[in-house]
Amino acid sequence: MKRTGAQIFVESLKAEGIDTIFCYPGGATLNITDALTDISQINQVVVRHEQAAVHAADGYARASGRVGVALVTSGPGATNTVTGIATAYMDSIPLVVFSCQVNTMLIGNDAFQEADIVGITRPCTKHSYLVRDVKDLARIIKEAFHIAASGRPGPVLVDIPKDVSSAVGDFKYPEKAVIRSYQPTYVGHTGQIKKAMRLIMHSKRPVLYTGGGVILSNASQELTRFAEALSIPVTNTLMGLGGIPGNHPLFLGMLGMHGTYAANMAITESDLIIAMGARFDDRATGKTDEFAPHARIIHIDIDPTSISKNIKVDIPIVGDTRNVLTQMLKIVEEEKEVYRQYHRSIADWTDKIGKWKKDYPLTYQRNDTLKPQHVIERVFELTKGKAIITTEVGQNQMWAAQFFKFLKPRTCLTSGGLGTMGYGFPAAIGAQVAFPKSLVVDIAGDGSIQMNIQELATAVQYNLPVKVIILNNGFLGMVRQWQELFYEKRYTWTRLHSPDFVKVAEAYGAVGLRIEKEADVDRVLKQAFKNGRPTFIDVHVSPEECVYPMVPAGASLKEMLLV
């Protein structure tokens, strides 16, 4: 059947089952924009800045597990997506970003609104395509979705020139993508898994260290069952939060620079680290030479490049974490007699960890000021943990990670790898589009929120009732914290003037609320959570609060600064 490239695009999205795109129009998108007129199967959310389109698609993907889709115009529209794409790339989030391009004849001519976006994004995409002929369009779209979602997921960029979207071609959507050079390994090597299980059996101080891979492969139930079966304590990376319920007795909290005492000490004294879907990032390991000095390491990851990249691994297992966990659980099941007693053989270890947890819990000094940590604790209590939380980057992100006990996977949406300020609000919009009835809360700071504050218009236009809690301390708090601790309190550049966030929200047609003292926290939060409208809550918190524990940059995990 003959169709234009733009129609092929729309039909391909439908065939792929795409229900939502986040987009922004321009000259080069017009053919496609027009072809999407009255296409009600595809919810089209027009943002106010292309960076936000990608973050929204990313939030949609993280919350739902489906591939997020963004569509933007050529030139500046495309370059504005770079931060969003790099954010998704670092956190392995499946996205397909469609950028439109000038006519093929003009490519390379420095044409109006031309940018070599395939070239610009090459280092931060899993793969990218420039569609040069309409006959390739459907195949490329099929491949793009396949690559984005399979293996270690990631963003794929498809650049569509305007004459390709207007050209006429045959349309047949391929049933499957066949890429001879791309066949991810899903099933773990049985021999390696058996070796790993033997090593576990002989360990006395094991720790499960799990990351975003557990969330991405939907393995949290298997992880929890595995940990419970052997009574092995679990620590999560920032990306792994929600992989095991945050209130689970075996959960140690997050590890790393702002990890808990128990998690960092457990890693340091462990004799066996079982890493799953985590990549030994510098924020998690601290000084690598002194990371887990007594431990052997089992590493399960779908991406071979993650294995032995930063830390030498003893038993590598390439595969999907969920598959591998299932294989490991099967062994535990089959050899019940062997494993039933295991928890007894590590009782000294679990006791020791229990003592660390009891003696050094996450805490903060209460006084008559309004503490940001208290606000997060109240958000957790009032929502009973039933909320999708997004964060910006900085102190707000770390307090959210520490004090909101993520009970379920896909409820902690945060830019872990790239650390992108301005991520949380558009990501919350994307998550709210995916789950219109859920409570979606962005934990923000007064600095970060101003990096994508224009998306208030999007939230109001589509009536997306996201709640943005601005922990307003008048500083770029995390940088200020480093200045306080390591630069003798010279707060150069970090004092921040901000607008009246309540009035800003109101000017956009959203609700603006303010909290200035602890006594108002519950009342105002409750009001915000049930008003059904996009809401900014400007919380004036204690200005010079620091995030603790803290492992100074370059130090080993056991060298924590405590409250």
Partner 1 sequence: MRHTISLLVENEFGVLSRIAGLFSGRGFNIESLCVAESLDPTVSTMTIVTTGNDAILEQILKQLNKLINVIKVVDFKEIDYVSREMVLVKVNAEEKTRPEILRMVEIFRGKIIDVSSRSYTIMITGDEDKLKAFISLIKPLGIKELVRTGPIAMARGERMMKIKEKTETKGGESNG
Question: Among residues 197 and 550, whose Cβ is nearest to partner 1?
Answer: 197
Among 108, 122, 178, 345, binds partner 1 (CB under 8 A): 122
The minimum distance between CB 108 and partner 1, in angstroms, equals 12
Among 14, 135, 139, 189, binds partner 1 (CB under 8 A): 189
The C-alpha torsion from 293 through 294 and 300 to 305, rounded to 10°, is 30
105, 112, 335, 355: the catalytic one is: 112
The minimum distance between CB 182 and partner 1, in angstroms, equals 5
| Cα of 482 vs its chain's centroid, Å | 24
* Cβ 307 vs Cβ 238: under 8 Å: no
* Cβ 85 vs Cβ 421: under 8 Å: no
Position 40 contacts partner 1 (CB under 8 A): no
Report H helices in 335-419. Answer: 336-340, 342-345, 347-359, 372-383, 395-403
Window 194-253: residues binding partner 1 (CB under 8 A): 195
**Rounded-to-integer distance, Cα 492 and Cα 481, Å:** 12
Among 191, 359, 532, 554, binds partner 1 (CB under 8 A): 191
Which tokens go with 339?
A: 């494993």
Question: Among residues 327 and 458, whose Cβ is nearest to partner 1?
Answer: 327
The minimum distance between CB 27 and partner 1, in angstroms, equals 25
Count of residues touching partner 1 (by CB under 8 A) = 32
Burial class of residue 203, CB neighbours in 10 A (0-12, 13-18, 19+): buried
50, 114, 222, 392: the catalytic one is: 50
The total of other beta-carbon atoms located within 10 Å of residue 76's CB is 13
The binding track of 295-334 with respect to partner 1, each residue x by CB under 8 A or -, is --------xxx-xxx--x--xxxx----------------
Question: Among residues 250 and 315, whose Cβ is nearest to partner 1?
Answer: 315
Question: Among residues 150 and 473, whose Cβ is nearest to partner 1?
Answer: 150
Q: Which residue, 211, 400, 200, is CA-closest to 310?
A: 211
* Cβ 32 vs Cβ 81: under 8 Å: no
* Cβ 234 vs Cβ 250: under 8 Å: yes
The minimum distance between CB 186 and partner 1, in angstroms, equals 10
9, 51, 101, 162: the catalytic one is: 162
- Quick one: which segment of 28-36, 176-184, 380-388, 516-524 binds partner 1 (CB under 8 A)? 176-184
The total of other beta-carbon atoms located within 10 Å of residue 61's CB is 30
Question: Among residues 280 and 536, whose Cβ is nearest to partner 1?
Answer: 280
14, 44, 113, 516: the catalytic one is: 113
**Rounded-to-integer distance, Cα 478 and Cα 550, Å:** 11
The minimum distance between CB 128 and partner 1, in angstroms, equals 8
Sheet architecture: strand order including 272-276: 251-254, 234-236, 206-210, 272-276, 296-301, 315-318
Window 131-170: residues binding partner 1 (CB under 8 A): 147, 151
Question: Among residues 215 and 315, whose Cβ is nearest to partner 1?
Answer: 315
* Cβ 498 vs Cβ 522: under 8 Å: no
Active site residues: 50, 112-113, 162, 478
Contact residues for partner 1 (CB under 8 A)? 118-119, 122-123, 126-127, 130, 147, 151, 179-185, 188-189, 191-192, 195, 303-305, 307-309, 312, 315-318
